[in-house]
Amino acid sequence: MSERTILTFFLLITGVMLLSQKNVSPSYAELRKKYENLEKEDTAALPYVSNFIQKAKKENNFEKLCLGYKDAVFFTTDAQVKLSYADSTIAAAFKSKKNELISDAFLGKGIIYYFNFRKFQLASDEYVKAHQYAVKTDDEYLQKKIIYHLGVVKSYLGYYSKALQLFNQSIEFNENKAKNETNANLRFNYCRGYLNSLHQMVICHRNLNQNAKADSLLDVGLSATKNKSEFTLERAYFLKCTGIIFYKNNQYSDALYYLKKALPVIEQKNDFTWAAVIHFYLGNIYLKHGDDRKGIMEFKKVDSIYNKHQFLLPEASDSYRSLIRYYKNRQNEKEQLYYTDQLLEVNEGIRRDFSYLAEKIYEDFEIAGLVKEKHQLEKSINLQKITILLVFILSSGLILFLIRRYRKREQNLKQKYAELILRLNIAQKQEEVLPQPQAPSRNKNELPGDLVRRLKIKIQYFEDHHQFLEAGLTVVKLADRFKTNPNYLSAFIHDYKGAHFSIYLMNLRISYITNKLNSDPNYLKFTVKALSQMCGIASRNNFATHFKSVNGIGVSDFIKMKRKDIKGDL
């Protein structure tokens, strides 16, 4: 073989090797190195994340695809886009058929609902789904992480005793793991889980007026985070709790010191919920010190946070009462009206998200005469701006509009009432001919056959004997009565009744009371509150809301239309 031939062959081999190296795509690790050290919501990472996702899609690597979508959630700034990526994570997780990935995906979506949207019920639903898959794995860390987040939601909604039970589990797990873990990163995660659970327990005990327990845990938290730069945020939360407790004990100077020390760190992490609470307490402290100007500025910061995020804890909503009093004393009707409107709007959000407080808050408003005062303010301001002629024209137009709206509403009510009566009559006839068995299209949860047969019998007896009317009934209580596991019962209800337990129970109650109102005139004499209690629903507002949701017509309207129907005036 000649030297020329050997050289040509060598160059050919070298070229092929270089070309093959050029066509080799970067590994997943190489792609993530380009962005994994960037800060949260740094959009500079997104082009690299997109490359990571495309590679995973091309290779049908669903585990990596889940990771890519989670990275997209982490670096995206738009909350709605985060939610979209969370849905994509769930879809990829299901394709992977790995329970730990499915559980983690549902957990991620729940956290977005909680932190970005403050949609507590939606967050709770996702956490429950996450837990159902987590218990099928050996990942105890994932299980306890979900339990912690469920506890946070329950605490925010005011179920402090139930939340404490969940936080106790989280603390016990993370504390034991942190003591025995040799890996620095894992030990850090366990310590954070422990401290966050400790902070939540302090909140629960404080709201339950268990001050000694709150103080004891607070001392533990402050000691554990002292001079620990890696736990700056966790320490800020403990300082915040310390400031609030000093305020409750009328030690305003100490409260001011700790709250001001905690605020910058909490604001830097964009935790607007607790930032608003701190501004509320700072405002009150300044008022106690006679500095009205600073106090009002702090309360206005609370209002600014609400305008931006459309959310406040009930604890911070009292800022508006102080603002209303301040401007009322200065006879500034314009500002007084603005903050009155804001308080009414905030209250509506609290009524929706914190149902346990709704009735009390509504009574407070009635006592204060806030709604009445709002209308007086509007009238006073309008009288200064509107001429008699304009008032006459607007009043005439309003009367005509109301008459037309009333007629249209009456027609709509008649139609809704007729449709509901027709459905009730059809359902009654079908029941007389042959009871309709409820069977699922498929058994999603693969419950044991003998368990399914037993639960069918017990649920049928439960429905036939109207045991669903019992107030305070929960899936845990019913499962205990049925001698079964709450998760099994929830799965059975979901598969065989086509709804979550709470929806299933609510539908049974509404259906029962609707049939009673339709068939027994005596029930038309009861108040809405009495009817709600008869069917086991404690809240009058919840009862009215669900009655209209199920039947398409409000309960008061149905009673009115039914009375007219009986008299022959319809």
Per domain, the residue ranges of the chain are: 447-567
pLDDT in tens, 262-299: 999 999 988 899 999 999 999 999 999 999 999 999 99
Q: How far apart are CA 6 and CA 13, in angstroms?
A: 11
- Answer yes or no: are the C-beta atoms of 244 and 256 closer than 8 Å: no
Quote the pLDDT of residue 412: 78
In this prediction, residue 349 has a pLDDT band, given cuts at 50, 70 and 90, of confident
Quote the pLDDT of residue 376: 65
CA triple 291-293-294, angle to 5 deg: 75
pLDDT in tens, 154-175: 888 788 999 999 999 999 999 9
What's the average model confidence in pLDDT over 406-410? 74
What's the average model confidence in pLDDT over 298-310? 94
What lies within 8 Å, CB to CB, of 252 at 6+ separation is 246, 285, 288, 289
In this prediction, residue 443 has a pLDDT band, given cuts at 50, 70 and 90, of very low
Quote the pLDDT of residue 391: 59
Residue 249, number of CB atoms within 10 A of its CB: 11
Burial (CB count <10 Å: 0-12, 13-18, 19+), residue 276: buried
pLDDT in tens, 359-368: 443 444 443 4
What's the average model confidence in pLDDT over 218-231? 94
pLDDT over 90, % of the chain = 54
Residue 198, number of CB atoms within 10 A of its CB: 24
**Domain at 447-567, CATH from 3.40.50.10890, 1.10.10.60, 3.30.360.10, 1.10.10.10:** 1.10.10.60
Highest mean pLDDT among 158-167, 254-263, 538-547: 254-263
320: closest CA among 299, 306, 337? 299
CA triple 345-351-357, angle to 5 deg: 130
What's the average model confidence in pLDDT over 247-252? 94
